[in-house]
Structure 1
């Protein structure tokens, strides 16, 4: 089984700075995407005024009187039952609190039970519209933003949502009791001041264009969540089994065990008719059943036990989506254009002494034979990853431009010379190249770094052999890793794979207890604060942070600061391209591949809106905007020979 994506973070919008993960067709939309950015980034900051929508650049797409997002169908039936399989690759869950570093949260609980102050649109660069907050005023100097709470906003227990509740949510998520990922997500917010019952002002550490949108991404929950019968509130990091008193559209209907949970739409959900919610959350009930592996998931889907499956295996997509339910028309496959690519690769943990020499990391990259894998195992469905910003305007190409060089030159002595040359393309094994010639180059690099083959293994000057453990939590990844480990074996490197439970895997990842593992950095429409969390030196020592490789580089930090300070497209592109050159040529991971399409198998009893958003994650798009077809349409469309599609 070959997988494209590992979603390790909650899928709600607040996990990704500046936009939800981008899923537009790069080859089809890249020119328009760049043109939109050019127009957006070239505009000056507008004066402060209260508005029901904000945009990081330019003006929001939708007018004040809009009725629904273009990619939502307000006339879609609001009933039906959705049976979903694994979410975020978890095989089990043990927590109802998605904001902690400890434990595995219930599937999609963050998205279904917690609303944010404002709602990101999925067809713009970076814009937000009224949700819990009905208007926002950004200070002219961008040092603060003031949000007004909709007086109709309610928690699931019926209590009104107040500015005090918003402040409590922020203070909690910025505290040590919450996940460091959230601490860093909202680090740009210095403080929150309650001005009155319905108004709160966020003051920022320093002016940033995306700071008001980050504030708008704040999930809101009640201080009463977890409160005991005697009125005492336990520490937030001890609240894990109490059902949330939350702000979102769904409630927990039942929990059978740690592999099964069902949500029911709250009939009193206050925001159901807001423009940002119209045409959204059309299923009355959503059930998640967690399976141990992708093979079992697929068989359950083919048997009709699940309504939909997002497929990340090229082999399964090409060969396994067959059977009577495909023949009789109950099940169907669809390819949806994908967009600016995520960076997927084998993370290299620089905290391990054997990986601290860049020549060693370069050698590990040379041993990965992508071309053979794509031809023999992936059915040609993938594209090699060559950038942390592939298929977007922010990735480096060719020689560095003058602005890139101006950013890079102060660090020239500490950076590989390749940073200042043509953008490095990943090694290939297409004729006249070969894996053998790549391994010869890898052998020479290892020797330069002090690693030599003797006594049956590659050893350092002290005689210690290089022994690499590659961890993963998905059965079937051995098909990808075994050829790689065999190539490493030719170099004398003793490499082995260890498959572990997803909960233990996440714990080891959070605590940086691994040598190598496959990971995904999800794409964003506009690079922003997530760069600090992923690559900043400060994050390298924070347990649970996204800086999994342990990058501590003054040059990287400077490029990240330049990206965050950018006020024009040229400045932003120069910073991200310079950053890209450093990350690629420092070999912090072994780049793998990405798919240009999202692959979805689904029951034909389901339907989706005619307009597909330009920025989306497949699971969220299905759960949030798909719907069950009306019974009349089902009767007309379902073949007589098809088994019942009722759930």
Structure 2
């Protein structure tokens, strides 16, 4: 799954005033008053003006072929299981992943830098002296797929539309945008209130730009299967709702030779087939209907990649290093449900997850235990809080668990039996301390209501992991169950927060932006359907720490704020950290070329790989 963003802002009070200025480059290192070819969160750019391409691409990669794959991540209202609309930028409906390939943005991200953007639609940007206004200068050759020019009016129209009616991932980062105006045909000015995080412009600059003409004539929020007018490297080709979509490479794409695009978008056709059943999807890969598969089920990776195409060398199986960014996979306990608001209940439920048994029995030894929402990064808290972290935490001492001010909270280690009696005894005591008393098989509150916990899953392999956890919860008196629902129902219940417990994995980037943090943790996201605050967290302390991260003036400041946030999240257990995998487990039919090494901050195989006709002929796929 991919990282996301949200809503209004709370101005930091005392905590902001005490955030120290540490060493390191700041957003202020992006110069004002002159045209810039790129931006970064802390002013550091690897590529100079006039660069020809990113270092990690193959600029000589041939164009051609078809790439059929199940996307491992998606954004906005997209679903990997089904789709009923091609409108990906509103809340309702299910859109197919990668619709954003049909649209260009003002700037494009470099995948070998943690937070750098370079000009795509915009050839340059100027920052005002107060850093609240940004003038983007559009390339005069930018065109929509119908040949009409893409103008500053399209950009201004799009961002105002997103702010008013867009998916929360698009609307929330724009809350503090005060104006978007076309100064002339090729210059657009974006003005912010001054309350925005310094890096907010980076999120906005990556938003897909829409056609003002098209969406003046067609309702933006309508669920439509007619392909919208785009400008990007791909167009919608053949499509059958809920079954498959093909993106056809635009042969006359205006931006194909830009430095940010050279070596990218090499396939003539990207196809996504939709399967509601994991086994059916795997069978399609084994037959060669699907060409690439990233495997997320440990048992399958260990024991089921033994089919003839593997033995004959037509399918290759290997691991690629994971990105250099935080890993977050955790179980959200929905605090919109009263039974999960007591931290002792959340701790008891966490103690019922026997990771050691699960790793040995269900994961074939794969995966490591997550302790943090920022695993694998400098943002993971270690040791006692630093003086800088304490400066952020102390204003909220009365709200926070005492563990926040000690060594960071750790998930318990079981005896690996699957039913650790000591841990389960501690869980039962926590429930009793929280007012849940035994009444027969279950615990009840003072109104005689059972403590219920339904774990929502969309796949039998996930249910297989949940069931032992649920059995342990039952043993301490929780009326626990696992419910497997189809893809459409799962998506709807997730969007509307209609669940007790749900497992999610996020990519929040090497330099987590305020927009991404806000959608997962901030109070403003808690009551807005479509955000990622699945836990329903509402905490002034967490809000302030998210704000501190958003207003970080250097990478050192960002590390301080996120380590402090990590301490709070680990102590509160709004999200119970579960497990993570260090690498990408990949299998593919041996008919592709790819750059090595892959870049450190992204793994978009569909845009970086290419079709190798020679390899394909050798395996009968030419």
Q: Spell out the pairing of 1:363-378 with structure 2 (5 A cutoff).
A: 363-378=348-363
Q: Within the alignment, does 1:442 sit opposite 2:432 as a pair?
A: no
- Structure 2 partner of 1:348: 333
Contact 1:138 1:212 in 2 (8 A): no
Rounded Cα–Cα distance in structure 1 between residues aligned with 2:304 and 2:5: 33
What TM-score does the superposition give when structure 2 sets the normalisation length? 0.92
Residue 46 and residue 154 in structure 1: after superposition, are their counterparts in 2 closer, same or farther (change >3 A)? same
Q: Is contact 1:466–1:494 with CA below 8 Å preserved after alignment?
A: yes
Q: Structure 1 CA distance, aligned partners of 2:616 and 2:276?
A: 32
Within 5 Å, give how 1:90-169 maps onto structure 2: 90-110=80-100, 112-169=101-158
1:211-249 CA distance string (max 9 Å, x none):
23123112101123366xxxxx34311152221111211
CA distance in 2: counterparts of 1:172 and 1:43, whole angstroms: 29
> Could you state the TM-score of these two structures normalised by the residue count of structure 1?
0.89
Contact 1:41–1:58 (CA under 8 A) maintained in structure 2: yes
Check if 1:481 corresponds to 2:434.
Answer: no
Write the distance in 2 (CA, Å) between the matches of 1:561 and 1:587.
20
Q: Is the 8 A contact 2:30 2:39 kept in 1?
A: no
Query: Do residues 572 (structure 1) and 546 (structure 2) align?
Result: no
How far apart in 1 are the matches of 2:186 and 2:215? 24
> Gaps spanning 5+ residues in structure 2: where?
7-21
For 1:372 and 1:57, the matched residues in 2 are separated by 43
The aligned residue for residue 578 of structure 2 is: 592
Q: 1:432 to 1:245 in 2, by over 3 A?
A: closer
Contact conserved, 2:66 with 2:269, CA < 8 A, in 1? yes
CA contact (8 A) 1:189 1:215 kept: no
Residues 27, 198 of structure 2: 8 Å contact kept: no
- Equivalent positions of 1:383-398 (< 5 A) are 383-398=368-383
CA drift of 1:342 comes to 2.2
Worse-matched range after superposition: 580-589 or 422-431 = 422-431
CA displacement 1:261-301 (0-9 Å, x = unmatched):
11211111100111111110100111111112222211111
* Between 78-87 and 522-531, the greater mean CA deviation after superposition: 78-87
Q: Which moved more, 1:165-174 or 1:561-570?
A: 561-570
Residue 190 of structure 1: how far off its partner (Å): 2.4
Whether the 8 Å CA contact 1:119–1:217 is kept in 2: the answer is: yes
The residue aligned with 1:625 is: 608
Q: Does 1:548 align with 2:534?
A: yes
Q: CA deviation at 1:205?
A: 2.6
Alpha-carbon distance in 1 for matches of 2:470, 2:419: 17
SS at match of 2:214: coil
Counterparts of 2:434 and 2:313 in 1: how far apart (Å)?
59
Pairing 1:202–2:178 present? no
The 3 A distance-change label for structure 1 pair 575 and 98 is same
1:299 — aligned with what? 283
Which of 191, 196, 202 is the equivalent residue of 2:179?
A: 191
Whether the 8 Å CA contact 1:363–1:441 is kept in 2: the answer is yes
Q: Which residue does the alignment assign to 1:645?
A: 621
Aligned counterparts, 1:192-341, within 5 A: 192-206=180-194, 208-225=197-214, 233-339=217-323, 340-341=325-326
- The answer to whether the Cα contact below 8 Å between 1:334 and 1:601 also exists between their aligned partners in 2 is yes
Residues 106-128 of structure 1 deviation map (CA, whole Å, 9 limit, x = unaligned): 23212x21211100110102111
In structure 1, the gaps of 5 or more residues are 1-6, 18-36, 228-232
C-alpha offsets along residues 425-468 of structure 1, whole Å, 9 cap, x if unaligned? 11111489972211111111111110011122111111111122
1:521 pairs with 2:506: yes
Distance in 2 between residues matched to 1:431 and 1:318, nearest whole Å = 21
Asked if the contact 2:85–2:241 (Cα under 8 Å) also holds between the matched residues in 1, the reply is no
Q: CA deviation at 1:389?
A: 1.0
Distance 1:611 1:293 in 2: 33
Shift of 1:52: 1.7
Quote the Cα distance in structure 1 between the aligned partners of 2:540 and 2:490.
Answer: 30
Q: Distance in 2 between matches of 1:629 and 1:38?
A: 47
Instruction: Tell me how far apart the structure 2 counterparts of residues 38 and 566 of structure 1 sit (CA, whole Å).
Output: 12
How is 1:413-432 mapped onto 2 (pairs within 5 angstroms)?
413-430=398-415
CA distance, structure 1, for counterparts of residue 29 and residue 147 of structure 2: 42
Alpha-carbon separation, structure 1, partners of 2:230 and 2:293: 28
Deviates more, 1:267-276 or 1:53-62: 53-62
CA distance in 2, matches of 1:386, 1:451: 27
Decide which of 571, 578, 588 is 1:602's aligned counterpart: 588
Distance in 2 between residues matched to 1:354 and 1:172, nearest whole Å: 39
Report the RMSD for the aligned CA atoms in angstroms.
Answer: 2.0
CA distance in 1: counterparts of 2:290 and 2:183, whole angstroms:
48
Report the Cα offset of residue 38 of structure 1. 6.8
The 1:16/1:61 distance shift into structure 2, 3 A limit, reads farther
After TM superposition, the runs of 4+ consecutive aligned structure 1 residues lying more than 6 A away are 431-434
Of 42-51 and 235-244, the range deviating more from structure 2: 42-51
Is it true that 1:61 corresponds to 2:51 in the alignment?
A: no
Contact 2:5-2:519 at 8 Å conserved across structures = no
- Aligned length in residues: 599
Give the whole-Å Cα distance in 2 for the aligned partners of 1:341 and 1:564: 16
Contact 2:53 2:261 (8 Å CA) reproduced? yes
